[in-house]
Amino acid sequence: MTTTPTASTDARAAVPDARDRALGALYGLAIGDALGMPTQGMPRAEIARRWGLLGGFEPGPGDQPIAPGMPAGSVTDDTEQALLVARLLIDGGGHIAPLAFARALSDWERGMVERGSADLLGPSTKRAIEVINAGGPVQEAGRTGTTNGAAMRVAPVGVAAPPGPALLDLVVESCLVTHNTTVGIAAAAAVAAAVSAGIAGAGTAEALAAAAGAARDGARRGHWVAGGDIAARIDWARRHVAGLDDERLCTELYEVVGTSVASQESVVAVFALAAARGDRPWPALRLAASLGGDTDTVAAILGAVLGACHGTAAWPADAVAAVRAANDLPFEELADGLLALRRRGARPTA
């Protein structure tokens, strides 16, 4: 059964407060994730043949490579691991203990296997957990992680920490176990900084500038790995897609920027979409879910960024209701806990 939300309320109609923006980010993450669930891992041509441009939530088809038969509106690992990060942050008083994070990720995958799900840990995270389980040092476990796993689950860090050096430190902490590389940290820093800027009241353009700046700073942390510079690619992609219509925009993102699990592709595609369609959050997520490739992650990150910038008015009320009905999402409780950490972090030191 297809679930097609109605058109979004004008996101500019009211000025949202920090809590509304935090909820906009968390619900945006889940809505984007659920939109991209049935199309993840599929080529763009096949998505176009089956659905055209996605109009709303669809169930996972029986031949879906990752989420066969999942009900419409269901979230995937992107949201579930972001929830895990949020809980660890709150329980840890604003910090993520590396070994606790590793155990939580391992337990999460074990639970998914028991449920018969094919939606398991990504390649960088799985490799890092194997190193830790074999007795390897935590500081070395994530030294090859360059995929988008850290970026997809980092939005709660952006809610919990205000803009500034402490935000980057917390991003690095969240990447240490699985993505402790220049590329992995830069990608996660870009997402967290955009969300944090949005919570602080920034519009989309200001949040994107914060993302590029954080990516440059993040690229100075972690183990060096070869790969395109995230900040430079974000800046280039934002210019490259300017003025394109929807069809050409999707073609350029899919064929030129890329939508794979590589951070230099999917995370860059997020910010290119935000630059091109950031004033229309709901249609932007529908485009993201129709791109092909790692659609659930691209749409989830985009939803978190645009939700932080626009607040809950970005999302149709029936889209929020649909993901709430299909999933256990304690976002109000988590938003309050994360914002309490943010207020504490924003206080001047004595």
- Residue ranges for the known binding site for Mg(2+) are 76-78, 294, 296-297
Binding-site entries: 76-78, 294, 296-297
Please give the backbone phi and psi of residue 337, each rounded to the nearest 5 degrees, phi first. -65, -40
Full 3-state SS string of the chain: CCECCCCCCCCCCCCCCHHHHHHHHHHHHHHHHHHHCCCCCECHHHHHHHHCCCCCECCCCCCCCCCCCCCCCCCCHHHHHHHHHHHHHHHCCCCCCHHHHHHHHHHHHHHHHHCCCCCCCCHHHHHHHHHHHCCCCHHHHCCCCCECHHHHCCHHHHHHCCCCHHHHHHHHHHHCCCCCEHHHHHHHHHHHHHHHHHHCCCCHHHHHHHHHHHHHHHCCCCECCCCCCHHHHHHHHHHHCCCCCHHHHHHHHHHHHCCCCEHHHHHHHHHHHHHHHCCCHHHHHHHHHCCCECHHHHHHHHHHHHHHHHCHHHCCHHHHHHHHHHCCCCHHHHHHHHHHHHHHHHCCCC
